[in-house]
Amino acid sequence: MSVLVDALPTLDRLEDPQLQDDLAQFRTGAIAWMNSGIGGGALAQLGQAAYYPALLLPAAVLSGITWWWGPALLLISIGIRIGTEREVIGFERLQTAHRAATRRTRAWGELIAGRRDAKEVRVFALGDWLLERSDEAQAERLAAFLAKRQAMVRTQAGRFAVCLAVVVAVELTVAGAGLAGAVPLGRIATVLGAATAMIGAGFGLGSALSIEAALPMVGALDRMRARAAQDKGRRPAALEGAAAARPPRIRFHAVRFGYPGAPREVLHGVDLELVPGEVLAVVGVNGAGKTTLTKLLAGLYEPTGGRVTVEGTRVQELPQTWWRRQVHAVFQDFAHLEMSAADNIRIAAAEAGDAQVRRAAALVGADTLIDSLPHGWETILARGYTGGVELSGGQWQRIALARAALAAEHGARVLVLDEPTANLDIRAELAAYEQIVAARGTATVVLISHRLSTVRKADRIVVLDGGRITESGTHEHLLAAGGTYAEMFTLQAAQFDQTQPTPAVPEATR
């Protein structure tokens, strides 16, 4: 999965329901396949194929008593095999058709028993409610499977009854003939064995059908491969390996963007130039599209209109390995990895040695925190491991900032920091901001923050409003302009000055 994520040109591929269904199909199919052993189905099919010619002998034995018994039992045996094969394929198709519902029920299961949302589930006492919803979802999904299984059981029971009747009829007839002295006793035994073997061949399919059962998984794998091949062809490798000596010039040209399947666009024509080496703050109300803007910058999504260019080349046309090295992003929901503290920082530059990791941590004050952990730098940052520790929100944020510091040291030329200090105490925030500003010049820093006291020190501030950049300038410039930024800043400042009444909104902003 991670390899796949890495290979995708943009992340909207991951939001494609067909891909998610294919992945789920592949996972369950692969597990089923591994249980029966790779190639087990093919071997069983070979065995089955060899078994049928071998049935000619019992067929001949049966035809020796009554000529049509041999061909009749052979036909019955083959008919059972074909019928069962079709049923297995039909059941697998039904499972494929319900893949999305299966994923949903799995998500309910993870909520009920998983660690990720355990706090909310407990605090809101959601257990019974979730269980009820999960049961409903399961019941809905399983109803279709149950109906199909019941139909299969009925058909198989019918087949079994017919076969039993045929075998009993043959046996009684041969036994009667034996009693009448028409057939020697030794031959009776051979005939009875032959009849049972022929019918049994039809039922004795076992793992021979695992090939049919695996067909949807093979289909899913083929589709994923086809997508991967398509994506590979989209990536030119012209600049591969070239390291940027300085922050690149990045431009948003009339960029429009809407998430796949979403009814509305988030960005409606953003024009923005990032001056190399500047600290640019992006502000705006919740949902204005600030994070989305940085996702386009990082190449995680492709604009639906307009272009994002780096030194004149569209981001999508850049060699992705090169571009990923240039950009380091700390998103609001940055990864909390179940790894050691050192590795949690090292992921920003896999080649970094211990000393470099420690230096990066020290820059943002994460070193003393890590030194105090039970196993120091090797402490796993997750509960559920011996000596594992869960960090606080602010402590995790220091780890994320240490990643950014390490990335900057290892050649990242664009640092995207989305609310990087929201959980830090004031002293830590100031220290972190010092480090952010220190990166100025060697990297372009894009800072998103609702704390305008932090933002004010940026080289330039842009306001994103209604999907467009509506204001751009220094703090002083924007304050004097009396626009949206001035209004937001004045409101925040008033929160800290309890002695003054909330100021009136400047005339110009009305």
Ligand X SMILES: Nc1ncnc2c1ncn2[C@@H]1O[C@H](COP(=O)(O)OP(=O)(O)OP(=O)(O)O)[C@@H](O)[C@H]1O
CB of 317 within 8 A of CB of 308?
no
Tokens representing 374?
A: 């039970």
Report, in Å, the least distance between residue 287 CB and ligand X: 4
Q: Is there binding between residue 284 and ligand X (CB under 6 A)?
A: yes
Segment lying near ligand X (by CB under 6 A), choices 128-136, 281-289, 361-369, 371-379: 281-289
Given candidates 95, 102, 134, 291, which one binds ligand X under the rule CB under 6 A? 291
- Binding region for ligand X (CB under 6 A) out of 161-169, 213-221, 285-293, 360-368: 285-293
Instruction: Record the tokens describing residue 208, joined without a space.
Output: 């021979």
Alpha carbon of residue 209 to chain centroid: 30
CA distance 122 to 332: 24
Q: Is 488 in the site for ligand X (CB under 6 A)?
A: no
Among 288, 296, 308, 329, the residue binding ligand X under the rule CB under 6 A is 288
Which residue, 81 or 290, is less far from ligand X as judged by CB?
A: 290
Report if residue 286 touches ligand X, rule: CB under 6 A: yes
Size of the site for ligand X (CB under 6 A): 11
Q: Can you point out the beta strands (E) in 186-292?
A: 250-257, 267-274, 279-283
Could you count the other beta carbons within 10 Å of the beta carbon of residue 475?
Answer: 19
Structure tokens at 491: 């409101």
By the rule CB under 6 A, 303 interacts with ligand X: no
Indicate which single residue of 287, 312, 384, 501 sits in contact with ligand X (rule: CB under 6 A).
287
3-state secondary structure of 313: strand
* Block residue for tokens 């933002």: 455
Q: Which is nearer to ligand X, 290 or 398 (CB)?
A: 290
Q: Do residues 408 and 325 touch, judged by C-beta distance below 8 A? A: no
Q: Residue 291 CB, nearest distance to ligand X (Å)?
A: 3
Q: How far is the CB of 19 from ligand X (least distance, A)?
A: 15
| 41: Cα separation from own chain's centroid | 30
Which residue do the tokens 């949902």 mark?
287
Q: What angle do CA 375, 378, 380 make, to 5 degrees?
A: 90
For 411-452, where are the E strands, in sequence order? 414-418, 444-448
**Identified binder of ligand X from the candidate list 262, 275, 430, 491, rule CB under 6 A:** 262
Of 207-215, 258-266, 307-315, 429-437: span binding ligand X (CB under 6 A): 258-266
Question: What is the number of alpha carbons within 13 Å of residue 436 lying toward its C-beta?
Answer: 33
Q: How far apart are CB 292 and ligand X at their closest, in Å?
A: 3
334 makes contact with ligand X (CB under 6 A):
no
Window contacting ligand X (CB under 6 A); options: 194-202, 280-288, 391-399, 429-437: 280-288
Which residues are near ligand X by CB under 6 A?
A: 259, 262, 266, 284, 286-292
